[in-house]
Amino acid sequence: MPDSAVPVPARLRSFRSSWLSPKVLRTEVLGGLVVALALIPEAISFSIIAGVDPAIGLFASFTMAVTIAFVGGRPAMISAATGAVALVIAPLNRQHGFGYLVAAVILAGVLQIVLGALGVGRLMRFIPRSVMVGFVNSLSILVFIAQVPQLWNVPWAVYPLFAAGLALMVLFPRITTAVPAPLVSIVILTVITVAAGIAVPTVGDKGALPSSLPVPGLPDVPFTLDTLATVAPYAFAMALVGLMESLMTAQLVDEITDTRTSKTREAVGQGIANIVTGFFGGMGGCAMIGQTMINVKVSGARTRLSTFLAGAFLMVLCIVFGPVVSDIPMAALVAVMVMVCFATFDWHSVAPRTLKRMPAGEITVMVVTVVCVVVTHNLAVGVVTGSVTAMVVFAKRVARLADVTAVTDPDGSRVVYVVTGQLFFASSNELVGRFDYAGDPDRIVIDLSAAHIWDASSVAVLDAIEHRYAQRGKTVEITGLNEHSAGLHRSLSGELTKVG
C-alpha cells in the first residue's frame, strides 16, 4: 500500500513506535545535544574564515539543521555552516560586503534546487569507491589538522584535559552506551575546570554567543543585473561544493547504516535550507562529515529528530545557557573531534595487507584524492581530480585487454583477423598498426564477435583500416558485430574519415 493510502492513525502509530520509543528517543536527544555542543566552536571558527560575526555562523548552523531535518533526503545527517562553504564565499564578503554574501547564499540555494531537479544526485554512481575512500580519509585529516592549533602554544593543563577526554571516550562505552561518551566527557571536563578554577581556553574565548533568535529579512543589496553578475560565480561555486560534500556524506551514511536514501531530495533539500538560511542572515552551509559521524557513528542516531534537535539545542545552548556553554574547555571538544577523526578514517584502506592486494591504480586514485583535498582544502577539487584520475586508470586498464590475432586460410585466399576486447578511443587507435596491409591476400575478414564498439573513434579506425586495404585493391568484410556495435557502425561508418 502506498504511503499516501495509509490511514493517518496508522502513520501516527508508526511514527510513535519509530521515533518516540524510550530507547530511540534517548539516543536521538542525546545525539542531538552532543552535536550541538560540537557545532558551537566549529560554527564560530567558520565564521572567522568567512570574515563575519560569530553569530552569523551559529545562525546558519541553526537554520540549516532545523530546515534540512524536514526537507532533506538523508535522515540523521547534520547540515550546518561549513569550512568548505566559508572558503568559497569569504572573498565575496571581503570585496563587496555582507549583503552580497547573503544574496549569494540565497542564489546558491536556488541553483541547488535546480541541479537537484535535473538529477545531479544520480551522478553519485559515477564516483568510484577509491575516490569515496579518499574523500573520507582526506576529510578526517582536515578535521584533525583543524584541531592542532587548539593544542599549540596553550597552557600545560590543556594536555591532561585532552588526554582525559580521549580516555573517557574510550573507556566509558565499556561501562554503558546509554549515554554518549562524548557528552559524558564534555560534562566531566567542564565540571573539573570550573570547580578547580583551571585557566584554559574555553568556548567563550572563540567569540560571543548570540542572545536572541535570528530575524528574517532581505539582503541589503541593490536588486540589479550588476549585483546578479557579481554574486553568480560565487553562488555557483558554493552550490557545487555544497552539493558535492552533502551527497558524498549522504552516500557514506547510507553505507554505514545499510540504507538507501534519495540523493535528489537531499540536493533539493540543501537548496531549500540555504535559501531559508540566507533570508535569516546566515552564511549558508552544507552537510558536515565530522558532526554527522558524531551523530550517526558515535551516538547511534538514525532519524531526523536528532538533526532537528541539534539545531534547536544549538540556539537553546547559546541563548539560555550561554554562560555555561562559554565555560566548556576547548580541550574537551578537541578530544571529541580527534576521536571522530580516528573513527571516521578508513584504516583498512591503508593497512599493509590491503595495499599489497589493491591494484596500483586504485591506490593512486585514493592518494590523489587525499592529497588534492588536503592541499587545496577544497573537496570539489579533490573529488573531481580523483574521479578524472580513476577514469584514466580505467581507460588504460581496459585498453590493454583489446587484442588482434590473425588466421590465414590454408589455401592463402583469405585472412581472418579476430579482434577481442572493448574498442574505444584508448584501445582502438593502436589497431591500425596490427594489420599486414601489403602482405595479406585480397580477402580480409575482421571478426568482432568477441569485441564491442563503444565510440566514434573505433568506427573511424575501422574505416581507416578498410581504406588502407582498398588502396591496395583488397576487400574487407566486418562480421560478428553485436546489436549495439552494428548500430553505431552503421550510423557513423563513412562519415568520420576523410578519404582522399
Q: Are strands 443-453 and 475-479 parallel, antiparallel or unpaired?
A: parallel
- The C-alpha cell at 179 is 549515554
The reported pLDDT for the residue numbered 18 is: 54
The residues, ordered by sequence, that sit 6+ positions from 144 with a Cβ below 8 Å of its Cβ are 337, 338, 341
Print pLDDT tens along the chain (500 aa).
Answer: 444 444 445 544 544 445 567 888 999 999 999 999 888 888 887 887 788 888 899 999 999 999 999 999 999 999 999 887 887 888 899 899 999 999 999 999 999 999 999 988 887 778 888 988 898 898 788 878 888 888 999 999 999 999 999 999 999 989 887 788 888 898 999 999 999 999 999 988 887 888 888 999 999 999 999 999 999 999 998 998 899 889 989 998 998 999 999 999 999 999 999 999 999 999 999 999 888 988 998 889 999 999 999 999 999 999 999 888 889 898 998 888 888 788 878 899 999 998 998 889 999 999 999 999 888 877 778 888 999 999 999 888 888 778 999 998 888 889 999 999 999 988 887 888 899 999 999 999 999 999 999 999 999 999 999 999 999 999 999 999 999 999 999 999 887 655 44
Task: Supply the angle between the helices 83-96 and 98-117 in degrees, to the nearest 10.
Answer: 130
Q: Whole-angstrom Cα distance, residue 287 to residue 266?
A: 10
| Rounded distance between C-alpha atoms, residue 67 and residue 270, angstroms | 9
The per-residue pLDDT for 3 is: 42
Whether the CB-CB separation of 57 and 318 falls below 8 Å is answered with: no
Q: What is the pLDDT of residue 51?
A: 83
Q: Which three cell numbers stand for residue 35?
A: 552535536
Q: How far apart are CA 440 and CA 471, in angstroms?
A: 13
**C-alpha pair distances (Å), 327 with each of 130, 189, 435:** 42, 10, 79
For cell 533570508, what's the residue?
279
Torsion sign across C-alpha atoms 76, 82, 83, 89: positive
Report d(CA 267, CA 283) in Å as an integer.
18
Specify the pLDDT at position 1: 40
Give pLDDT, residue 4.
41
**pLDDT score of 167:** 95
Q: Is 407:396 a contact under the CB 8 Å cutoff?
A: no
pLDDT for position 500: 42
Q: What is the pLDDT of residue 118?
A: 92
The residue whose grid cell reads 569569504 is: 90
Report strand pairing: 414-423 vs 443-453.
Answer: parallel
CA-CA-CA-CA torsion sign (253, 183, 336, 205): positive
- 421 conformational bin, left if phi > 0, alpha if psi -120 to 50, beta if neither: left
pLDDT computed for residue 95 by the predictor = 93
| Amino acid 441: pLDDT | 93
What does the pLDDT read at residue 138?
87
Nearest to 317 by CA among 45, 46, 63, 33: 33
Predicted confidence at residue 310, as pLDDT, reads: 96
Helix intervals (H) in 178-321: 181-196, 225-257, 263-279, 289-293, 304-319
